[in-house]
Amino acid sequence: MNSTSYTLYVRCGDERLGAVPVCVTRKRVRNLNLRVRGDGSVVASVPWRTSRARAQEFLDAHAGWIAERVSRKAERQAESREAAPSPAYALWGCEHRMADGHTPTAAELDELWRREVERALPGVIARMEPLVGAHASSWQLRAMSSRWGSCTPAHGSIRINVRLAAYPPECLDYVVAHELAHLIEPSHNVRFHAIVARAIGNERAIRARLRQPPATA
């Protein structure tokens, strides 16, 4: 005996949902079962001899459960759409889009940001080294996930995160000054912050800005 399916509708008391369609399938099962699929559709399986009236009664009794689960699925789908890759990207704190309209990959963005920081860095170094009173022997650009910059005082080498190009230009100024200051004072003590303050007057505001997502407006 083959299974057969039909559709019933459930009023869940939520105007946003309206009448929710439920695909009911007669199967060789003992109990009436109900579930919400990943796409938000509702399905039920009922014993072969279950009447439509009995199936409707079962669905109506679970209207609240159906409304809750369908709404939850819809919210998750909306969140997934919001989290989907966007053709917009941040550059120096402003929103930009690729010329051909495609969504840039992470590798493309890192390369774009690398070129931007590579172009801007010499000027920033020329301004910050005299203000801080330190000189780095070498500079490297890296795509780093947990640091904006790092340095090795013993060698005088400094590494800068290319992703700073997503943030306003003063953030790059600050990180350069910060790492140069470490060549003089390795610790984050009072002396260190006094050295940074010689070059950056709004250190606290910039640090707070770097804890936020890149501006895209």
pLDDT digits (tens, 9 = 90+) for 25-58: 999 899 999 998 888 899 999 999 999 999 999 9
Per DSSP bridges, beta strands 94-97 and 88-91 are antiparallel
Cα 157 to the center of its chain, rounded Å:
32
Computed on alpha carbons and rounded to an integer, the radius of gyration of the chain in Å comes to 29
Are residues 155 and 106 part of one domain? yes
Give the mean pLDDT of 177-200. 95
The residue range of the domain holding 152 is: 88-210
| Confidence band for 187, pLDDT divided at 50, 70 and 90 | very high
d(CA 198, CA 212): 25
Give the residue from 83, 109, 143 where a domain finishes.
Answer: 83
**Distances 192 to 87, 112, 188, 199, 211 between C-alpha atoms, Å:** 40, 32, 6, 12, 20
Are residues 103 and 74 part of one domain? no
Residues 6+ apart with CB under 8 A from 148: 160, 161, 164, 171, 175, 178, 210
pLDDT at 98: 78
Is the predicted pLDDT of residue 113 greater than 60, yes or no?
A: yes
pLDDT at 1: 42
Give domain status of residue 216, yes or no. no
Contact 80, 62 (CB under 8 A): no
pLDDT at 58: 94
Give domain status of residue 217, yes or no. no
| CATH number assigned to the domain comprising residue 204 | 3.30.2010.10
Element at 153 (helix H, strand E): none
Is the predicted pLDDT of residue 70 greater than 90, yes or no?
A: no
- Number of domains, the chain: 2
Are residues 94 and 165 part of one domain? yes
**Distances 104 to 51, 85, 99, 164 between C-alpha atoms, Å:** 55, 8, 11, 17
Give the residue from 83, 102, 130 where a domain finishes.
Answer: 83
Give the mean pLDDT of 167-188. 96
pTM of the model: 0.61
d(CA 60, CA 65): 10
Are residues 109 and 54 part of one domain? no
Are residues 132 and 77 part of one domain? no
Mean pLDDT for the chain overall: 89
Are residues 113 and 71 part of one domain? no
Are residues 78 and 102 part of one domain? no
Is the predicted pLDDT of residue 161 greater than 70, yes or no?
A: yes
Are residues 204 and 98 part of one domain? yes
Give domain status of residue 50, yes or no. yes
Are residues 109 and 76 part of one domain? no
Element at 94 (helix H, strand E): strand 94-97
Are residues 100 and 35 part of one domain? no
**Distances 188 to 61, 109, 133, 156 between C-alpha atoms, Å:** 63, 31, 17, 17
Contact 199, 131 (CB under 8 A): yes
Are residues 105 and 11 part of one domain? no
Is the predicted pLDDT of residue 15 greater than 90, yes or no?
A: no
| Confidence band for 79, pLDDT divided at 50, 70 and 90 | low
Element at 178 (helix H, strand E): helix 169-184
pLDDT at 96: 86
